[in-house]
Amino acid sequence: MTYFVAVRKALSSPAAGVHGDRCLVLLASRLQQGRSAVIRGTTAVLALALLSGCLHSPLPNLPSHWQRRPLTTSELRPDGEGSRLQVLIMYWKGSCSHTAVRLLSPRNPVLFWDPGGSYGKPDRRLPSFQVPADVERHFDLILEDAPDLETYFDSRRALGNLAVEVFEWRISDEQGQRLHDTLVAGAAQDRSKGAFKTQTAPMYCSDAASRFLRGSANDILEIPKDFFFPHRLSRVLYTQSPERVVIYRIPADSLEVITP
């Protein structure tokens, strides 16, 4: 009961709002329904998430002082040649939902790393979105026919997401090649034990992306630790001098770009 009271106090704060009330009902029902280890474990994870502050509005970290302007779909592709690193953060109505990484390197096909995600897999949640037939996915890495941003936005709309942030950095071709080689090696079936791997358990997308950026892109970004929640990784990415951040608000079908 002490455990339940602690959660109730956390959810009674104004910040929790209506989502906190709904989660409290769910948590109470779980506590009363079963005694199995699976249910207790699920309840513990839910409570930990709530107490850690995962309930928030979409795009909670937008800097108010950055310049912003509308963006057309033709401007989604970066200007000029050269390599780009893109990190995508997705949001539901009341929380963050997913993290992905997209790499543009002129010497190689575009790579799209979807850690713990479902792009390119049969998904009953996506009746309105048709995945291109040529998509080649190996251990969460899209090696062939990686989605452009507009296509990926469509898939997130079909999943019920409300917003997407796309952080973008211009990197050297050498850095792009190194990141490409690291991702491809991480998707190899014969990779050495303990080496970086792209395959990720569901819900650990941001944790995996943080670890990759911290370990393999530490000459580009300074990521202090691994972040389980995507919105907390987003908060740090705003401090890492992205060249631009593309904001897509799905219900309004509106695009804008913000720059420091």
Q: Which tens digits make up the pLDDT trace of 52-105?
A: 556 677 899 999 999 999 999 989 987 667 999 999 999 998 889 999 999 999
Dihedral sign (CA 114, 119, 125, 126): positive
- State what percent of residues in the chain have pLDDT above 70: 73
For the entire predicted model, the pTM comes to 0.79
Residues recorded for the chain: 260
In the sheet with 254-259, reading across from the earlier edge strand, the strands are 67-70, 254-259, 244-249, 163-171, 83-91, 96-104, 111-113, 141-144, 136-138
Distance of CA 140 to the CA centre of its chain: 13
Residue 32 and residue 154: Cα distance in Å, rounded?
40
Q: How many helices (H) and strands (E) does the chain have?
A: 7, 9
Residue 258 and residue 260: Cα distance in Å, rounded?
7
**pLDDT for res 87:** 98
Burial class (CB in 10 A: 0-12, 13-18, 19+), 171: buried
Positions of the chain with pLDDT lower than 50, given as ranges: 1-39, 42, 50-51
**pLDDT for res 13:** 42
| Residue 163: strand, helix, or coil | strand
**pLDDT for res 222:** 97
Residue 205 and residue 229: Cα distance in Å, rounded?
9
